[in-house]
Structure 1
Amino acid sequence: MTPFEYIFPLVSVIIGLAVADLAKSVHRLLRNRKKVYWDWLPLTTALLVLLTVLNVWWGFYSLRDETYYQNLIGFIPLVTQLILLFFVSAAVLPDKIQKEGLNLQRFYKKNSPYFWSLYAAFIFVIITQQSIYLIIAGIDPLTSIIDQIPNILIFSVFICLVFIRSRLFHAVVVIALFLLFITKWAGMNLGAM
């Protein structure tokens, strides 16, 4: 059994739990739809999280020949990333619907600093993980920083979402991120990885 074959089930289980939590939250909302004041922003954000979860699972396959996650210094950031991804999935939609109902717009406004903090932490761990990988691979630090610019920009945007409370800002950013992620990931192919 290769290290990839050993680690892949763990990755799949944590990702499966994240997808299941998202599905359970959506099911809970649909089941109580008459008590829910619907809002597109948290639902679009949840779709963004689902795309992220699927991207991580899909992208992990490209690491099958890598060796950095086979030791503890590479494995710990991977597990941390997966746990944070589960937290992000669990935080994007409400856990309960009260008897009096649920206003998704109010939920998003109250929950967004916590949610975007988790999402930013997830991206920070990715930056850390990829930097460790590049350093282990012998890539010079400047090149590794340049390679991380897209993730650093996304991390910065997520930090802005933690502190900027404007609904318009959140709406524009979420739509832009959704379009960016769709265009980036639409061409992914397991055969090419």
Structure 2
Amino acid sequence: MDKLFYLLTFMAIIIGIGVSDIVVCLNRLLSNAKMVKWHFLPIIWVINIFLALIYYFYISSVFIDFNLADHGIGFVALIIPQLVLLFLALAILPNKIEEKEVNLLSYYFSKKRYIGLLFLLHFWAIWILRVLEYSNEDYNLKFGMLILPIILFSAIIFTKKVWLHTIVAVLLLIYFLFFLSKVSLNLQ
């Protein structure tokens, strides 16, 4: 078996664990719906992370063309964005429902720094992948492509304003919906 297929299999496992954790946590919350104080903001973030996982599953065939997978450090660099998404999927919803009510908005704000830092790490990892992959070609590797994610996710790390978190979540939702509408599964 080719090492790229190992990479794609490993990515599929990571993405599958993330999707299954989201589904299990949502099932737990829905089956105990009377004990949950629902809020739209954490649900938008759950949808964002789910869409990100699905998006990376669909574009994983792109990694077949990456020369990075030929080396161990490149293999690690290629799976870091998916691992960060897995950490996000594991953090976005509470794993346990205690005897008391679960307030999803309070839970989200208790994890906002961790979530924001993971999203920043995810975008940094993607940028580093682009630098590593296209360093031999004439590719525009401006630092500017990181400015917007840094501003947006810094905003959610350092503020507790629901409207600002909502704007960032909705912008990310639009981003993932746009890019998911542009990808197709390339099975050849």
For residues 37-186 of structure 1, the aligned pairs below 5 Å read: 37-135=37-135, 138-140=136-138, 143-145=140-142, 149=145, 151-186=146-181
Q: Distance in 2 between matches of 1:140 and 1:152?
A: 21
Q: Distance in 1 between matches of 2:111 and 2:85?
A: 16
Per-residue Cα deviation, 1:86-136 (whole angstroms, up to 9, x for no partner): 10110111111120110111111222111111121122111112211111x
The answer to whether the 8 A contact 1:124-1:155 is kept is: no
Q: Distance in 2 between matches of 1:23 and 1:62?
A: 26
Return structure 1 stretches of 4+ with deviation > 3 angstroms. Answer: none
> Shift of residue 6 of structure 1?
2.3
Query: Is the alpha carbon distance of 1:70 and 1:156 closer, same or farther for their aligned partners in structure 2, counting shifts above 3 Å?
Result: farther
The answer to whether the 8 A contact 2:7-2:75 is kept is: no
Q: TM-score, normalised by structure 2?
A: 0.91
> Shift of residue 159 of structure 1?
2.2
How many residue pairs are counted as aligned between the two chains?
Answer: 188
Does the residue aligned with 2:66 lie in a helix, a strand or coil?
A: coil
Q: Distance in 1 between matches of 2:80 and 2:174?
A: 27
> Shift of residue 154 of structure 1?
2.2
Q: Distance in 2 between matches of 1:118 and 1:65?
A: 26
Q: TM-score, normalised by structure 1?
A: 0.89
The one-letter code sitting in structure 2 at the alignment partner of 1:108 is Y
Runs of at least 5 residues in structure 2 that lack an aligned partner in the other structure:
none
Q: Distance in 2 between matches of 1:191 and 1:129?
A: 21
Per-residue Cα deviation, 1:74-96 (whole angstroms, up to 9, x for no partner): 11212322221110110111111
> Shift of residue 152 of structure 1?
4.4
> Shift of residue 140 of structure 1?
4.5
Does the residue aligned with 2:182 lie in a helix, a strand or coil?
A: coil
> Shift of residue 191 of structure 1?
4.0
> Shift of residue 139 of structure 1?
2.4
> Shift of residue 73 of structure 1?
2.7
> Shift of residue 174 of structure 1?
0.9
